[in-house]
Amino acid sequence: MPNLLTADQFVAGIISTLALKNHRNFEFKDTELDRMFEKAFGVLVERKDDLQVTPTFTFVSDPLHGDSIALRETLLAAKEKELISLNNPTFHTFSIKLDDDRARRYLSRLPLDNSFLSEIVDRFFHCPATS
């Protein structure tokens, strides 16, 4: 039986994987972050049966504005949990705050395989890192 996967879990997994790869500071243009998460979500949906998860969310971007309200809410929740700091109100820059031990704890509790998250990060989240 597939495990339910929430938006918070998916984003925490990506953030944790980025932290462990020492990618901690990001700067994005316009809705670039939304597009990255939308593509990552698309791969998750394509492989959900193999991964044995059922996503309870979507990160599909609004066709008019190019952003995802669900992603914005999830990033605000990640900020509240002190996983990230948002360095401006438009979500164009953020920094990952969690340390490697905390990142590993998050990953150990997720219903997603770490190799999948690593693949997603390598595929979609490598370009905008500033350090």
Q: Give the pLDDT confidence of 35-84 residue by residue, as tens digits.
A: 899 999 999 999 999 999 999 999 988 888 888 889 989 999 999 999 99
3 state DSSP class of 110: coil
- Prediction pTM value: 0.89
Going from the C-alpha of 48 to that of each of 69, 85, 119, the distances in angstroms are 22, 30, 15
Domain boundaries, the chain: 3-124
Tokens linked to 130? 């500033």
pLDDT at 128 over 70: no
- What is the per-residue pLDDT for 89? 67
What is the spatial distance between Cα 106 and Cα 32, in angstroms, rounded to a whole number?
25
- What is the per-residue pLDDT for 129? 41
Q: Give the pLDDT confidence of 90-113 residue by residue, as tens digits.
A: 667 889 999 999 999 999 999 999
- HSE-up (13 A, CA, CB side) for residue 11: 26
